[in-house]
Amino acid sequence: TRFHAFTLTELLVAIGILSIMFTLLFIPMTQAFDNARRGRIMAELQNAGDYALEIMVRELMQATEVMPQERVNADVNDNPPLDLLDDASGDDDTLSRIDFVVRSVQNDRLAPFNWQQAYTVVTYYIRRSDPSRNFQYLDIGGQPTNRRQIFRAQWMPDNNIAPEPTQMDAQGRWLVRGAWILPDLSGLPKANPQANPPQGGLVSFNALTPPEIDVADLRFTVERRPVQNYRDQKPIAVVIEMTLRKPTPGARAKRDLQTGQLLDETDVPSLFIRRRVRVVLQNVP
């Protein structure tokens, strides 16, 4: 019996055909996997945005009063504006926080089960996931990410926790103290409505967005009645604008061309969604 081996030419032709077939299959498969991961991230962003908006819209519709956003610190000489624990320090974060008064409903899913009905303040604001660390969008340098989230605090004010503001500065901004100017409300003591007199403090504290999603922008714009007397400028609606983002699959940290250090930003644009909702305040008298 005589055996015939492949010639070198036949082997090269076979290898070439296999390479072409592998290339034709590999590229579409890689693109399909990337598209699937992108679709999953977009679904996460949309679900997170819908969840946060559903809660904020529902509770804002129950608001009986919206507190003034234009406020400065009454206990500091230069009266700095509200500065939240986001990615920048010393900036004006007035529009990234809103405080409004609601009558808490018993057995509400975000309030304690045994909480009695009483007027409380609900505050939405932006904050880093870990307020003790700097903002970090990417997992670089051995440090985990520390992105921004939307937090919700329900609390009961009193003269110690948050004295009622009574004065304004020359620019028409309220001079406030205590919780009205705090960049984070998670450290407030627990409220005790059974005390005599009732002691203000925190009723509940929740994150409305997950830590793996970065809240790139959050703005609350309060529309008020166009009258000259400030006390008659009752709020009629609140416009919520927010942008959520997450790194694109396969994205890498940029590298500084001069120093060679990794930067806290991606080499390709991140995936993001924007939401804008106008909430009519039906219960404001």
How much is the pTM?
A: 0.85
Q: Which two tokens stand for residue 180?
A: 């009205």
Spell out the residues 6+ positions from residue 163 whose beta carbon is closer than 8 angstroms to its own: 177, 178
Pairing of strands 71-73, 174-176: parallel
- Residue 52 sits at the vertex; the CA angle it makes with 47 and 56, to the nearest 5 degrees, is 150
Contact 163, 128 (CB under 8 A): no
Q: Provide the b/e sequence for 94-127 (b: ≥16 CB within 10 Å).
A: bbbbbbbbbebeeebebbeeebeeeebbbbbbbb
Domain boundaries, given as residue ranges, for the chain: 8-280
Q: Which two tokens stand for residue 189?
A: 């003591």
Residue type, 161: I
pLDDT for 1: 47
In degrees and rounded to multiples of 5, residue 221 shows phi and psi of -110, 120
pLDDT for 105: 53
DSSP 1: -
**Helices marked H in the chain — which ranges?**
8-60
Residue type, 188: L
pLDDT in tens, the chain (285 residues): 455 667 778 788 888 888 887 777 777 777 777 778 889 999 999 999 999 999 999 999 999 999 989 999 998 888 888 999 998 888 889 999 999 998 765 455 555 544 555 678 999 999 999 999 999 999 987 889 999 999 999 999 988 899 888 888 888 889 999 999 999 999 999 988 788 888 899 999 999 999 999 999 999 999 999 887 766 789 999 999 999 999 998 889 998 888 888 999 999 999 999 999 999 999 998
Residues in the chain: 285
pLDDT for 169: 87
DSSP 140: B
Q: Which two tokens stand for residue 110?
A: 């975000």
Place of tokens 């406020």: 71
pLDDT for 117: 53
**What 3-state DSSP class applies to 217?**
strand
